[in-house]
Amino acid sequence: MKRVYLFKRYERLWHWVQALLVITLSVTGFVIHGTIGFVAFERALDWHERAGLVLIGLTLFTMFWHFTTGEGKQFLPKKGGLAEQIRFYTAGIFRREPHPSIPSPEAKFNPHQRIAYLSLLIFIFPVQIVTGFLLWGMNRWPVIATYTAGVKPLALIHTAGAFAMICFILMHLYMTTTGRTLLSNLRAMITGWADES
Amino acid sequence: MARVLWTASLLALIAAPAMSAERAVDHRHLQALQGPFRDGPSVTRACLSCHSQIGQDLLTTPHWLWRGEDTQIPGRDGVARSIGKANLVNNFCIGVQSNESSCTRCHIGFGWKDKTFNFKDPTKIDCLVCHDTTGDYARPMSADPHGAPASEPVDWTRIAQNVGPTSIQSCGSCHFNGGGGEGVKHGDLDPSLSEASLGLDLHMSKEGLGFTCSTCHRGEEIPHRITGHSASVSVRTGDVLSCSKCHGEEPHGRAYIARTQSERHAAEKFRAGRKPTNPHDDGLLNWHTRKLACQTCHIPRYAKVLPTKIWWDWSEAGRHQENGDPVQEVDDQGNITYLGIKGAFRWGKDLVPEYRWYNGQNERYLLGDRFDPKDVLVLNRPLGGPGEAGAKIWPFKVMRGRQIYDTENKYLIQPKLSGAKGSGAYWKDYDWQKAAAVGMAYANLPYSGHYGFTETVMYWPLSHMNVDGGQTLSCSECHNRQGRLKGIAGLYLPGQHRSLLIDVLGWIAVAGTFLAALAHGILRWRKRTP
User: Which residues have CB under 8 Å from A42's CB, separation 6+?
Assistant: B474, B475, B476
Tell me whether residues B494 and A160 touch, CB distance under 8 A: no
**Which residue stretches of B145-190 are H helix?**
156-161, 168-175
pLDDT band for B237, please (50, 70, 90 cuts): low
Pick the more confident residue, A3 or B381: B381
pLDDT, mean of residues B421-430: 94
Given a cut of 50, is residue B12 above it in pLDDT? no
pLDDT band for B201, please (50, 70, 90 cuts): very high
Given a cut of 50, is residue B13 above it in pLDDT? no
How many angstroms separate the Cα of B337 from the Cα of each of B305, B353, B397, B398?
18, 22, 19, 18
> Using CB atoms, which residue from B287, B505, B510 is nearest to A170?
B510
What pLDDT is recorded for position A136? 94
What pLDDT is recorded for position B152? 65
Name residue B344's beta-bridge partners. B313, B338
Query: Nearest-CA neighbor of A22 among A51, A64, A59?
Result: A51
Tell me whether residues B475 and A40 touch, CB distance under 8 A: yes
What pLDDT is recorded for position B491? 92
Q: Which of A141-155, B312-326, B410-424, B431-445 has the lowest mean pLDDT?
A: A141-155
pLDDT band for B146, please (50, 70, 90 cuts): low
pLDDT, mean of residues B95-109: 93
CB count within 10 Å of CB B159 equals 20
What pLDDT is recorded for position B516? 96
Report the alpha-carbon angle B22-B27-B33, nearest 5. Answer: 150
Q: Which of A87-96, B307-316, B331-340 has the lowest mean pLDDT?
A: A87-96
Helix A151-175, helix A9-32: angle, nearest 10:
130
pLDDT, mean of residues B437-452: 97
What pLDDT is recorded for position B138? 76
> Using CB atoms, which residue from B475, B521, B523 is nearest to A174?
B521
Q: Cα separation of B162 and B158, whole Å?
A: 6
Given a cut of 90, is residue B25 above it in pLDDT? no
Nearest CA in chain A to B494: A33
Assembly ipTM? 0.93
pLDDT, mean of residues B24-29: 83
Nearest CA in chain A to B496: A34
Eight-class DSSP state of B165: S
Given a cut of 50, is residue B384 above it in pLDDT? yes
φ, ψ of residue B121 in degrees (nearest 5): -100, 105
> Using CB atoms, which residue from B286, B523, B527 is nearest to A139?
B286
A156 inside 8 A of chain B by CB: yes
Tell me whether residues B514 and A160 touch, CB distance under 8 A: no
User: Which residues have CB under 8 Å from B519's CB, separation 6+?
Assistant: none
> Using CB atoms, which residue from B495, B520, B529 is nearest to A33?
B495
> Using CB atoms, which residue from B474, B498, B505 is nearest to A34?
B498
A-chain residues near B475 (CB < 8 A): 40-42, 45
Q: Cα separation of B433 and B115, whole Å?
A: 23
Given a cut of 70, is residue B149 above it in pLDDT? no
What pLDDT is recorded for position B530? 55
pLDDT, mean of residues B51-65: 94
CB B424 within 8 A of CB B434: yes
pLDDT, mean of residues B85-99: 96
3-state helix, strand, coil in chain B (%, to 5): 30, 15, 55
What pLDDT is recorded for position B409? 97
What pLDDT is recorded for position A140? 86
What pLDDT is recorded for position B19? 41
Eight-class DSSP state of B284: H
B-chain residues near A142 (CB < 8 A): 287
Tell me whether residues A159 and B506 touch, CB distance under 8 A: yes
Given a cut of 80, is residue B49 above it in pLDDT? yes
A-chain residues near B494 (CB < 8 A): 32-34, 151, 155
A-chain residues near B489 (CB < 8 A): none
For B459-499, write each residue's pLDDT tens digit: 999 999 999 988 999 999 999 999 999 999 999 999 999 99
For B241-265, write each residue's pLDDT tens digit: 889 988 988 899 888 888 888 899 9
pLDDT band for B21, please (50, 70, 90 cuts): very low
Q: CA-based Rg of chain A, rounded to a whole angstrom?
A: 19
A-chain residues near B510 (CB < 8 A): 163, 166-167, 170
A-chain residues near B280 (CB < 8 A): 49
Given a cut of 50, is residue B183 above it in pLDDT? yes
φ, ψ of residue B402 in degrees (nearest 5): -125, 130
Given a cut of 60, is residue B3 above it in pLDDT? no
What pLDDT is recorded for position B273? 84
Sign of the Cα pseudo-torsion (B376, B382, B385, B386, in order) = negative
Query: Nearest-CA neighbor of B502 among A52, A30, A149?
Result: A30
Tell me whether residues B502 and A160 touch, CB distance under 8 A: yes
A140 inside 8 A of chain B by CB: yes
Pairing of strands B336-339, B343-348: antiparallel
Q: Cα separation of B6 and B14, whole Å?
A: 12
For B262-281, write each residue's pLDDT tens digit: 899 999 998 888 888 888 88
Average pLDDT of chain B is: 90
pLDDT band for B140, please (50, 70, 90 cuts): low
Nearest CA in chain A to B525: A94
Q: How many CA atoms lie within 13 A of B348 on its CB side?
A: 18
What pLDDT is recorded for position A79? 78
pLDDT, mean of residues B34-56: 92
User: Which residues have CB under 8 Å from A91's CB, separation 6+?
Assistant: none
Each residue's pLDDT tens digit in chain A (197 positions)? 678 898 999 999 999 999 999 999 999 999 999 999 889 999 999 999 999 999 999 999 999 999 999 888 888 888 788 888 889 888 888 888 888 888 888 888 888 889 899 999 999 999 999 999 999 999 888 888 888 888 999 999 999 999 999 999 999 999 999 888 889 899 999 999 987 65
pLDDT, mean of residues B146-163: 75
> Using CB atoms, which residue from B496, B498, B520 is nearest to A159?
B498
What pLDDT is recorded for position B23? 56
- CA of B277, closest CA in chain A: separation in Å? 15
